[in-house]
Structure 1
């Protein structure tokens, strides 16, 4: 067993308030022996889970000398799936940031002092959740790094999500995704139906970001198939102290498409702002 593998805790489950109803959340600590180290909390993409992150959170936590906290949001991975017939509302990302995440941290006993030193690392929908959390609780984190976050809906976003639906329903993509979720349809259609809701076209969180006080790093690839560089440009316009990293030959998953560049950027960012 490698040192890295030895520092990964077993997957655990905890009950907490999921907003509309109680849920069981799958979570995992990385480097749990570093009890005095700050927490790096990872927020996965719209079809993600603990398993879909693969080894990247561990790699980054080792680089940052942090404890890691990874979890699957309700509806994903081995966490409580959506209830039959449930459709997530337009504000589902707000609920994850302002209700589910704080309830999850409460259930784990992560107190206000630990939260004030906590770094959020979010990808795609997880990046949006990180931004919404930082705007709602501006003192309850040390800083955040977001990759390919969504602030508003672009035509290319809708086109990409429509294409994902067709791929899911006509190819082997569903079978591949099933390896990462106990209820793969819960994960896919929860995300897909919410983003393709016509009411979602008016969704825009840009104005909410002005309350973010902590250090903020935003990373985007020029070849992102779901959104343009305007997403992080608007972050900079709303949060003057935000730092931007724009990557060439990078699509919607910077931590997979440009791993070294992303790790270097996040490590330098955290190092510069860590008290």
Structure 2
């Protein structure tokens, strides 16, 4: 199967602009759309070929977008609110899907995008047929904060700004500060707790984390699964850090694709 990609600039109800790429194929309209939600320093191009590979293996359409402040989407300003992930999940995901004309979805979120996925799945109800998270955070743990502090050190003393600028251009410094300064702010990491959304997630959930994730303890996964209940499946990937879809691409595909296909089969049976 081959995807046809279209670049889209969506206008939301509040006037904000969201840049997206929408991949469609012949079999896609009858299936949920795969929606990929990027990390805190993410960008459409940073997913590489992974969204296309998952879409082609499942026959689903795929939709990838840049949140406010990223890529070609509308800019943000500092300081960022402590609870910035909450409106992204509670309202923005639904607004973006509405603007794109997308109905039923399977959400696939990495890091910040994983946390947003958990919140969105709780509030969007039956519209979300399944979710997959990679390295999602339920709270800020000691590895999270140590990893961010180490990233700040690298940002100040290595070529990390130049490498990030390949994607973020003039927005690089603002986005790095929006991530690091917010998470390291005492009021943010002390009060961060997304567990209250978990009981509202009623769809199947695959919760993935690399065994060597430098930004999260293994209990992030077990606590998320405990909060969701029997619909959740935990998966730890060997030899993998914070970015499973790049660091362990084949393992991630071998986990995600069968999971998605099972949900599609169940949808067909239900009909």
TM-score scaled to structure 2, two decimals?
A: 0.91
Deviation at 1:173, TM superposition (A): 0.8
Contact in 1 for aligned 2:94/2:124 (Cα 8 Å)? no
Q: 1: distance between equivalents of 2:133 and 2:84?
A: 18
- Partner of residue 71, structure 2: 77
Residue-by-residue CA offset, 1:206-243 (whole Å, 9 max, x unaligned) = 23201110000001111000001100100121122201
- Partner of residue 246, structure 1: 236
- Partner of residue 96, structure 1: 88
Match of 2:223 among 216, 223, 234: 234
Q: CA RMSD in A?
A: 1.5
- Partner of residue 13, structure 1: 9
Match of 2:199 among 210, 215, 231: 210
The runs of 5 or more residues in structure 2 that have no matched partner are none
SS at match of 1:121: strand
Match of 1:166 among 132, 148, 153: 153
Q: 2: distance between equivalents of 1:258 and 1:109?
A: 32
Deviation at 1:32, TM superposition (A): 4.9
Contact in 1 for aligned 2:25/2:59 (Cα 8 Å)? no
Residue-by-residue CA offset, 1:50-105 (whole Å, 9 max, x unaligned) = 0111111111111111100000101111212213xx21111111111112111111
- Partner of residue 23, structure 1: 16
> Would you tell me which structure has more helix in proportion to its own residues?
2
Contact in 1 for aligned 2:11/2:99 (Cα 8 Å)? yes
SS at match of 2:197: helix
Deviation at 1:166, TM superposition (A): 1.8
State yes or no: 1:124 paired with 2:117. no
